Amino acid sequence: MRAFSYEKVSDPAQAAARAAEVEGAKFLAGGTNLLDLMKLEIERPAHVIDVNGLGLDEITETDEGGLRIGALVTNTALSADARIRRDYPVLTRAIAAGASGQLRNKATTGGNLLQRTRCPYFYDTAQPCNKRAPGSGCAALSEGAFSRQLGVIGTSDACIATHPSDMAVGMRVLDAMVETVTPEGMTRTIPLEEFHLLPGDTPEQESALMPGELITAVTLPAPVGGEQKYHKVRDRASYAFALVSVALIRQPDGTGRVALGGVAPKPWRSAAADAELPNGAAAVMAELLGGARPTEENAFKITLAERTLAAMLAEE
Amino acid sequence: MKFDKAAGENTLFDNAEVVGRPTHRVDGPLKVTGTAPYAYERHDVAEGQLYGYPLGSAIGHGRIVSMDAEAARNSPGVRAVVTTLEIDPLEKGMNNVARLFGGAEVQHYHQAIAVVVADSFEQARAAASLIEVEYEKGDPEDYDLGAAFERLQGSGEMDTDTGDVESALSGAAVMLDEMYHTPSHSHMAMEPHASVVDWSDGDRMTVWTSNQMINWNHGSLATTFGLDKEKIRVESPYIGGGFGGKLWLRADAVLAALGSRAAGAPVKVALPRPMIMNNTTHRSETVQRIRMAAGEDGKLTGIWHEAASHTLPDGRGENATAQTPYFYASEAIRTKHHTVSMSLPESADMRAPGEASGLMALEIAMDEMAEKLGMDPVAFRKLNDTQVNPSNPDQRFSDRHFVECLERGAATFGWADRNTAPGATRDGQWLIGHGVAGAYRGALVLPSGARALLEGGKLVVETDMTDIGTGSYTILAQTAAETMGLTLDDIEMRMGNSAFPVSSGSGGQFGAASSSAGVYAACMALRARIAEELGVEEPEFREGRVIAGNTNRALSELEGEIDAVDSIEWGDFQDEYQMATFGAHFVEVGVHAGTGETRVRRMLAVCDSGRILNPVTARSQVIGGMTMAVGAALSEDMALDSGRGMFANHDLAGYEVAVHADIPEQEVIFLDTLDPVASPLKAKGVGELGVCGVAAAVANAVYNATGVRVRDYPVTLDKLIGGLPPLG
């Protein structure tokens, strides 16, 4: 961990302005990911802006009949909220499937969206990684590398990392929107679909946020009802990142939505795949994972995604 | 005390009041209150402790061309930097295969190449990242153990060659020939390797560390640094898990010592979690071929078990054939272990070295043979039991109740009610299966000593024996209390210090039997001293009193300090017997019919390991072993990057040991056995038996659930989903 300066801010616009103003600044919320990465010298912020004093920790109803989730609402509070449990149960289920109780107590809504990949080569500073050290290469794509956990779609020749969040997969299937404040004090709204970027040639650029821009909330549209499930598949029963996770909303008429975690650099969903839901899991996955480029070690994820959805659809 | 004949009628332990009673660990309150002093937390033992942080090699093998530590030396708070180029290669201590420090050669990834010493941990860590290293990579190597096995199989002198295996295999009514694979495993103790070392003056050295074997460590430090043993003191009173990973001297103590000498102050070093996988030792991957032959009657007529493991040059690797010459009756047995030299981190002992890996394969093979024979796998194992060493039939087992383990387990588990048709039992979307496996682990003993000191009715027992979470403090206090006729409250155990008499240490499942016999020997010597002082013959010691003839005195009334030192020495008569421990494991799993996720539903172990000194701590050992084996069965895998010659997963998120949610109901039954050959207490170890065979029982249960036979551990869902039956 490198020495850094620290400040605590009290206003979201001020936080964004300061972040744009000070070179190498990072926001600190729950710290469950950032602090670990700082200890490992993967993140080396020169300046840390503590946003925990900003409020932003309430869940309120929107005029459209949805919910606005403050960026500092913890994962525990969000998953336990009665309105979320009643009207957006896929989100509660997704959050509860992630991390551990202790981590969820600290992790925040905004921070969770911005958490970084768990690719083992991203974590080993002795190895090349285009995400951590742009231009150094991708160790995970080299001969003999370990890629079982990594992405199968949306990846590039520069990076095959996945986004590790469960919460984001639940939000994606609910058509969530990200609200931000810019350094100029303007607010804007980014659909979650557009929030995470695909790696292309620049895997170090992970989100649509501009320098200094701060997430203030995530909004959920009015409830869509239906049966809502989240199945996270992993090698052990708890405290592991998804090999594949499936968020499903299914209406009584068989239509619905599907989003995947554990397969791509962002929660993976498409309208065309959603439209195939009445035709079954194979049809959905042919659409959703049709362009997959897996490695030899992780090709099983394609079969696994289809079987997982099929099992969810077959459940009594 | 020489243990030179089998323990006979033994009124002391056969009618024990303290030994054998369920007793919570005496060090429990210290542990649950966080006050047991673990190595890195020994803030009180030396003034002015500084923090050392290690740097590991970024290449798998090769040479270091240059190191630039200037920026690190000038970094805030830094007191000293020691780089490997400044130090001649250090001598290797006992059983160390890779060099721990010194010189330009890199033998494995994350080999320690520098230590930075600073006022704070954060300063040391930040400065360590500033060291620039230029490497010259070694030539590419082949890390394909399977290919190496193909080249080596059948070559060299066989380790065991009894009877005519080739004839047995060629003419067999039923025959099996399969390949099995186990990946490399990391010990991953909760407490990382950690030491505080005071070598400020470059003369006398004190080491507060986390190590299973004080005397070996002591000797290795002397060898490594060219010091007299008398100048070194080693303390390791509490150890947060060892599993064999802390048997030898490791880089934490070496770096702390070098840092201390360089900085002129005590220095503490803990290996960071991301260095544990590649800097420390691990259990090697194994490739195993098992051939078995049996007659129509189900009796085994031949077993040929050949295996390979990787090691650095001169290492022992992981001998997966270890149990095969002894476990099942067969007139023809052939075994061979090939070690394959690879520039990977050092492979060495891990809980039940040999048997743990070997039984993962052998006990699947037994399941497969039973199926080929159309026999129940419990009945098949019972049929092939033996009371003599099959590869040396003149040698009897000292005490073997494997059949009873199987029978008791089958009855308790409800084995007879299982559905024998694979893939045919469902619970919603879960396929349910049951599996069984046998367990075998040798019962090694080592010399072990102690000092017993009585004053004012209180007994202090000193021994360099360690407690790696096993319960040594408790069972040794029980042994001392029993022998002296005292209560546990009267006993103070002082352990894990090189100033105390040399013990067996903890490892190889030899600790409990050896060190309890050593404490018994010391207490018997003390009894003799007391008898001598009182001028009485063969007194009884009970209820805090010494009683002989007209003499009946409270021990608390005896004047001054009385002490005695003795150790247990093991007689040659034990060589006439094969000594081992036995078990049977029964497991129920659910496998998700859609995803292939396997979740263990219940587990039962039945153990035959002589007298159980304390059912509470022994049970903890066994369920700990079972838990470790669930990890080995289903998820643990040091992910080899064969391009880089290193293990890519680096922490407890990437190296998946079983977590609480993975572990269901666990039941342990100890057979009430006594092994008079094994020790004066008729006790044997149990800590490694618990890990043996369990993984195969899980794999066999997965087969029963799904009809998919996986011979390549861990049994992960990607190996199952291609063969699962359609969703119901």
Residue A143 has its nearest CB partner, among B125, B643, B724, at B643
| Residues facing residue B644 across a β-bridge | none
| Residues facing residue B181 across a β-bridge | B287, B712
CA distance A48 to B86: 38
Phi, psi of B50 (to 5 degrees): -105, 165
The backbone region for B447, taken as left when phi is positive above 0, alpha when psi lies in -120 to 50, beta otherwise, is beta
ipTM of this predicted structure? 0.97
CA distance A313 to A310: 5
CA distance B436 to B367: 8
Please give the mean pLDDT across all residues of chain B.
Answer: 97
What is the structure's pLDDT at B11? 82
Q: Is the pLDDT of residue A171 over 90?
A: yes
What is the structure's pLDDT at B726? 79
Residue B595 has its nearest CB partner, among A41, A236, A308, at A308
Q: β-strands A244-250, A227-233: how paired?
A: antiparallel
Cβ pair B722:A303 closer than 8 A: yes
| Residue A120 three-state SS | helix
The encoded tokens of residue B127 equal: 């400065």
Residue with tokens 């009628």: B9
Question: In terms of C-beta distances under 8 Å and separation of at least 24 residues, what long-range contacts does B222-227 make, across chains too?
Answer: B223/B91, B223/B92, B223/B93, B223/B94, B224/B90, B224/B91, B224/B92, B224/B93, B224/B100, B224/B249, B224/B254, B225/B90, B225/B257, B226/B91
User: Among A142, A150, A235, which would you mutate to test the B interface (most chain B Cβ atoms within 10 Å of its Cβ)?
Assistant: A235
What is the structure's pLDDT at A259? 98
**Those residues with Cβ within 8 angstroms of residue B334's Cβ, 6 or more apart along the chain or in another chain:** B158, B160, B161, B162, B165, B302, B303, B304, B305, B306
What is the structure's pLDDT at B728? 58
Q: Cα–chain-centroid distance for residue B334?
A: 26
Mark the ranges of chain B whose per-residue pLDDT is less than 70.
728
Dihedral, CA of residue B34, residue B40, residue B44 and residue B50, to nearest 10: -150
Cβ pair B714:A235 closer than 8 A: yes
Report whether B600 contacts B589 (CB < 8 A).
yes
Alpha helices in B453-503 (DSSP H): 472-484
What is the structure's pLDDT at B727? 78
**Span A50-66, mean pLDDT?**
97
Residue with tokens 């497991």: B587
Q: Is the pLDDT of residue A2 over 90?
A: no
| Residues facing residue B582 across a β-bridge | B440, B608
The encoded tokens of residue A87 equal: 């009207």
Cβ pair A40:B274 closer than 8 A: yes
**Span A79-100, mean pLDDT?**
97
| Residue B220 three-state SS | helix
Cβ pair A123:B650 closer than 8 A: yes
Q: How far is A14 from chain B (nearest CA, A)?
A: 30
What is the structure's pLDDT at A113? 98
Strand (E) or helix (H) holding B175: strand B174-182
What is the structure's pLDDT at B320? 98
What is the structure's pLDDT at B45? 97
**Chain B contact set for A307 (CB, 8 A):** 594-596, 721, 724, 727
Residue with tokens 């239906």: A226
Burial of B416 (0-12, 13-18, 19+ CB in 10 A): exposed
**Chain B contact set for A243 (CB, 8 A):** 717
Tell me, yes or no, if A145 comes closer than 8 A to chain B by beta carbon. Answer: yes
Inter-axis angle of helices B615-634 and B355-373, nearest 10? 70
Q: How far is B712 from chain A (nearest CA, A)?
A: 15
